[in-house]
Amino acid sequence: MEHLMRSIVGLIVLAAGIASLAGCGGGGGGGVTTDVGILTSDYQVLDLTTGTVESRQSLPDLLTNPAYKTTKMVFKAVYTGSGVVGALPGEFGFQADEGRTGVDVTKYYLATFEVTQKQWENLAGTTPWTSGQAVSVAGGAASVADGKPAFNLSYQAIKDVLDARNAAWTPTLALPTNSQWEYACRAGATSLYAWGDSHAPSVVSPFARTWETLASGTGPGLVGGRSANAFGLYDMHGNVWE
């Protein structure tokens, strides 16, 4: 299904403390507040130039305000709940180390969009997607744009940047755990994908940019270009992979 290039940067979690992310999402000290659970707004908006966070109950200009994909980063609350992760033998994409199991999560905040190239540049001051090897993948130079997802990043490079930011800022940033990411990706569904089990391009196209659903061009598109899932998160399938 998702035949575009992988990106480890994908989405970033806004959390109360890094230690809390090793388990169930929120709850550590020394972060945005004493505990993520104290935050009641659906959205938290992080200013990437100052490190300050603004709580918002709604963001009617989420898709039209360019700042949310360049100088700011929007996080959406994923509320405490239970779901499933992994796959059953014989299901599409099944791997032996990712068997189906139940999962419980406590409230956390996940970036609404894949991290864009401009956001990463503001976070890290680097542009790894412009290297010769990176632009040789699907889309070539057309894959490079401020509002397109960052890629060609290693886990360690991301961790180093987030650790540096966490030392200077009050909010704590981290990559989501496997359970946090998949729970948010499924958005309450127990099917293969958030929209169901169908691979039909007509069903997939509203939600995911893949080889099969490209209307034009190649490579990743601008983030937020397809419909959000039931949790209000964009590009959880397709575009670049998390």
Q: Work out whether the CA dihedral 126, 130, 133, 136 comes out positive or negative.
A: positive
Rounded-to-integer distance, Cα 238 and Cα 54, Å: 29
Q: Is the pLDDT of residue 113 over 70?
A: yes
Is the backbone of residue 25 left (phi > 0), alpha (psi -120 to 50) or beta?
left
Strand blocks (E) in 96-241: 101-105, 108-111, 172-174
Would you state the pLDDT for residue 101? 83
Q: What is the rounded average pLDDT for all residues in the chain?
A: 79
Three-class HEC string of 26-41? CCCCCCCCCCHHHCCC
Token output for 84:
């499933």
Task: Tell me the per-residue pLDDT of 57-90, one tens digit each, with 9 for 90 and over.
Answer: 999 999 999 999 999 999 999 998 888 887 778 7
Task: Tell me the per-residue pLDDT of 131-174, one tens digit each, with 9 for 90 and over.
Answer: 866 655 556 667 889 999 998 888 899 999 999 999 998 888 98
How many Å is the maximal CA-CA distance in the chain? 48
58 closest CA partner among 37, 34, 40, 71:
40
pTM of the prediction? Answer: 0.82
**Stretch 229-236: mean pLDDT, rounded?**
93
> How many helices and strands in the chain, by DSSP H and E?
6, 8
